[in-house]
Amino acid sequence: MKKTGLLILIAILLSLSPMRADEGMWLLPLIEKLNMKKMSELGLKLTAKEIYDINNTSLKDAIVHFGGGCTGEIISGEGLVLTNHHCGYGNIQRLSTVENDYLRDGFWAMSRAQELPAAGLSVTFLESFTEVTKELEKAAKNAKTDSERQQAIKNVTDELIQKAVGDNKYLTARVASMYGGNAQYLVVSKVFNDVRLVGAPPSSIGKFGADTDNWMWPRHTGDFSIFRVYADKDNNPAAYSADNKPYIPKKHLTISLKGVEQNDFAMILGYPGRTSRFMTSSEVKETSEINNAITIYARGIRQDVLMEDMIADPKIRLQYSSKYASSSNFWKKAMGMNETFAKLNVQERRAEEERAFTEWVNKDKKRIEKYGKALEYINTSVAQRAEILYLLKYLQETLMNIELTTVANHYAPVANALSKGDKDEAMKAAKGLEGRINTFFVNYSEPTDRKVAKALIKVYRDKVKATEWPSFFAELDSKFGGDVDAFVDDMFNRTIFSSKEKINKALAAAPEVILSDPALEVGKSIFVLMPKLQAAAGAANANYSLGQKAYIAGQLEMKKGEAMYPDANSTMRLTYGQVLNYSPKDAVLYEHVTTLTGVMEKEDPNNWEFVVPEKLKQLYKAKDYGQYAMANGELPVAFLTNNDITGGNSGSPVLNAKGELIGCAFDGNWEAMSGDIIFEPTLQRCINVDIRYVLFIVEKYGNAKHLIDEMTIVK
C-alpha cells in the first residue's frame, strides 16, 4: 500500500466542517480554520488567537498537564493550580500519616510556609504545537528498507527537537503522531518540578459517593484540590528548594461567579489521554471480551480483599486508598463500557462502517491499491494476538499485582551479581534501590498482600491453561499438593522481602541468602513471562500499524467534508459545546445542575461513601453560602456539558464564552461509557464541579479566604 500524500491529507483536513458542536477533541493550531465559525455561532466571544497563540499570551498558557495523567489550570498570578481531588489523591495520600490524615480530614495551608512539597509531582506547560509531517515524509522518501526509513525519521526528529529546544535547558520536545501516523506534530513544553499541596477538602467531600456514584449522574462530589507551582529566583523551573518562589505565570484564568444556564456555551482545554474512535468491530469485540472482561473479574476480586482490610484498619486504609482508587476507577469504567457496547450495538455499527468503507474502496483501483489491505491487516493482527493478549492481561491483573514478588524482583540484578561472585556490584545495585524500597514499604501491608497473593494465584490458575503457568507452579503442585494458601504462607514466612528491616539485615549479614529467597524465585518466574508475551504480541501485530494507518487515511478521504479529528494522545486539545441536560431513557430527564441539597439527601452515616461532614451540614442549615449561591438561594455543586472528554481531561477547566472559569471537569456519564470508541451526541455528557462550590468549600469550609483573595473573580 502507498502512503497517503501530505498534500492530500492537508487538503482533506482543511476542508473539514464540524458536523456537531458537541463532538471533537480538536488540535489547537487548526481551530481557526475548522472550528471558529461554529464556536462563534454557539456564543464564543474570543478569537482563535486568544485561545492559542505561540507568539503572544493566550488561554493555553494557563493550562498544565498535571502529573502526566490529568489536567490543571492556573487560577492566580502566584501559581495556584486547580485540578481534581482524584488527580491530587496519590500526592495527598503520600503526604498523609495516621496522625495527620489529609485524605480523611482535608488540608488547608494557611501560609506559604505550610504548603507541602509533593515529591515527584510535576506540571507541564505547552510552549508550541507545530505540524512537521512534511519534514518527516521527506526524510523517509528515499529510504529503501524499513530500517532505513526508521533511522531517517529518527535523525530528522532529533534535528527538529534540537532546533526547537536549542540551549534552553528548561524546554523539552517530542513528536506526537496523529491520525494513525498520517500526520506528525512537534510539541514543545516546559516542565516545573517544584509543586506543593495548598488545599484539599476531606474525602467525604472530594470523593463523596466514591465507587457507587463514580461515572454517574446526578453527582454531588466536590472533586477538586489546589496546588502551587514554584520556580527559582528568575521564574524558571527548578528542583525543590526552600528558596524557590511562587511561579509568576504568563496567564491565569479569570473566575466567573455568574453560573450556568441550559444551552450556555462551554469549552474545555486539556490533555485527553487515549481514545480509539477509529476502532474496528473486531477490536471492539477484543476490548469487550478480553481487556474489559478480565479487568472486571480480576480487579473485583483484588479490590474486595483490599477494601475488607481498609475498613478494618485506619493505617491500611491510608496505605491502600490510592492503590484502590486507581484500580477501581477503570474497573467500573470497564463494566460501563461493556454495558453500553451491548445497549448501543457498537460492534455492529462499526461493522457497518467497515462494509461501507470496503464498498467505497472497491469502486476505484487507486483506492484498492492504497486501502484495500487495511482491514485485512487489522483483523488478521487481532485474530493472531487474541490468545497472547488474554495471557498478558491475566498476568498483569493477577500475578503482577502481588506486591511481595514485585519488590523481590527488583533485587534480581543484586542476585545476579552475587551469583557471579561480584559482591561489590551487588551492594552497589542494592544501594541504588534504597529510595524506591523505602517509599514502597511506607504503603505496604504484609498481611493484606498475603491475602491478595492467595486470591490472585487462584484466579490465574483457574483462568490460564497449565502450559502457560510460571515455573513456580511446579513447586506449588509437587511440594504443596496444589494448596495455594500453604504455598503462599510458606513464601511469606521465609522471605526477607516482606519488610525493609529484613532486607537491610540480610544484606548486611549474609547477602547470599537472597539467592535462595522464595519470593525472588517466584518473582523472577512471573516477570520473565512479560518480555516473551510482548515479543509474541509484536510479531502478531507486524502489519497492524500499516493497516490502521491506511484505514484512517481512507476514512479521511472517504468522509471528506465531515468532522474528523485525531484520536486523543495526551496532547492539548479543545472541545466545545453547551451546558446541557439529557434523557437517559424513556420518561426520565436529568437536569443540568445539582445542589448541596442533593448531598444532604444522599447522606448515609452508616456508609463511608456517603458520610457528610458535620461542618458542611451546619453550613447547609444556616444557608451560609455567601456570594456563591444561585439566584434561588441554593448552592450549586456540579453541572453537565456535552463536551467531548476522556481520561486525562480530569481537572480540565470548563470555560464560558468569555474564556472565564466556571467549573472543573471530573467525569463522564454511565449511559455513554463507550465514548472512547464512539461518540453518542444525545447521551454523552461531561460532569463538572461548579467553581462556586469549589470556592465555597475553600472559603467557608476550609477557612482559607486568603486563597480566594489571590484569584481574579468576576460576577
Torsion of CA 614, 615, 616, 618, to 10 degrees: 90
Judge contact between 224 and 72, C-beta under 8 A: no
Of 457, 485, 495, the closest CA to residue 473 belongs to 457
Judge contact between 197 and 230, C-beta under 8 A: no
Judge contact between 445 and 319, C-beta under 8 A: yes
Instruction: Find the mean pLDDT for residues 594-623.
Output: 98
The amino acid that residue 326 corresponds to is S
Judge contact between 649 and 685, C-beta under 8 A: no
User: What's phi and psi for 142, nearest 5 deg?
Assistant: -95, 5
**pLDDT tens by residue, 5-45:** 444 455 445 444 444 546 999 999 999 999 999 999 999 99
Of 462, 461, 456, the closest CA to residue 305 belongs to 456
Helix axis angle, 293-312 relative to 446-463, nearest 10°?
Answer: 160
Instruction: Find the mean pLDDT for residues 266-282.
Output: 97
Mark whether 105 is an active-site residue. Answer: no
Mark whether 86 is an active-site residue. Answer: yes
Q: Is 511 helix (H, G, I), strand (E, B) or coil?
A: helix
**CATH for 573-714?**
2.40.10
SS3 content of the chain, % helix, strand, coil (to 5): 50, 15, 35
In the block, residue with C-alpha cell 502512503:
3
User: Please, which pLDDT band fits residue 564 given cuts at 50, 70 and 90?
Assistant: confident
**What residues does each domain of the chain span?**
6-13+59-261, 398-527, 573-714
Judge contact between 64 and 72, C-beta under 8 A: yes
- For the chain, the average pLDDT equals 95
Residue 4 pLDDT more than 60?
no
Give percent of the chain with pLDDT exceeding 90: 94
Distance CA 493, CA 96 (A): 30
Question: What does pTM read for this prediction?
Answer: 0.94
Say what the pLDDT of residue 22 is: 63
> Residue 658 gets which letter from DSSP?
T
Active-site residue (options: 282, 650, 652, 674): 650
Going by C-beta distance under 8 Å and a sequence separation of 6 or more, which residues neighbour residue 48? Answer: 31, 32, 36
User: Please, which pLDDT band fits residue 560 given cuts at 50, 70 and 90?
Assistant: confident
Instruction: Find the mean pLDDT for residues 303-308.
Output: 98
**pLDDT tens by residue, 374-395:** 999 999 999 999 999 999 999 9
Please name every residue paired with 653 in a beta bridge, in sequence order, or none if there are none: 664
Residue 612 pLDDT more than 90?
yes
Provide the grid cell at 319: 496505605
Of 635, 629, 638, the closest CA to residue 688 belongs to 638
The amino acid that residue 649 corresponds to is N
Of 526, 530, 531, 300, the closest CA to residue 402 belongs to 526
Provide the grid cell at 701: 469550609
Judge contact between 209 and 609, C-beta under 8 A: yes
User: Please, what is the end-to-end C-alpha distance for the chain in angstroms?
Assistant: 58
Residue 265 pLDDT more than 50?
yes
Going by C-beta distance under 8 Å and a sequence separation of 6 or more, which residues neighbour residue 621? Answer: none
Please name every residue paired with 595 in a beta bridge, in sequence order, or none if there are none: 636
Distance CA 238, CA 112 (A): 17
Q: Which helix (H) or strand (E) holds 128?
A: strand 123-131
Q: What is the 3-state secondary structure (H, E, C) of 569-617?
A: CCCCEEEEEEECCEEEECCEEECCEEEHHHHHHHCCCCCHHHCCCHHHH
Say what the pLDDT of residue 142 is: 83
| Residue ranges in 141-199 assigned as alpha helix (H) | 146-165
DSSP string, 84-125: -HHHHHHHHHHH--SSS-HHHH-EE-SSGGGPEE-TT--EEE
User: Please, which pLDDT band fits residue 3 given cuts at 50, 70 and 90?
Assistant: very low
Of 431, 419, 409, the closest CA to residue 512 belongs to 419
**pLDDT tens by residue, 91-101:** 999 999 999 99
Provide the grid cell at 670: 454511565
Active-site residue (options: 61, 194, 213, 223): 223
Q: Is 32 helix (H, G, I), strand (E, B) or coil?
A: helix
Say what the pLDDT of residue 146 is: 84
**pLDDT tens by residue, 525-550:** 999 999 999 999 999 999 999 999 99
Provide the grid cell at 240: 525543590
Instruction: Find the mean pLDDT for residues 481-505.
Output: 97
Active-site residue (options: 22, 58, 61, 86): 86
CA distances from 450 to 310, 411, 438, 460 (A): 14, 20, 20, 16
In the block, residue with C-alpha cell 488527580:
87
Instruction: Find the mean pLDDT for residues 420-444.
Output: 94
Lowest mean pLDDT among 265-274, 448-457, 482-491, 555-564: 555-564
**pLDDT tens by residue, 656-693:** 999 999 999 999 999 999 999 999 999 999 999 999 99
Lowest mean pLDDT among 9-13, 74-78, 104-108, 561-565: 9-13
Distance CA 462, CA 286 (A): 21
Of 167, 106, 174, the closest CA to residue 613 belongs to 106
The amino acid that residue 696 corresponds to is F
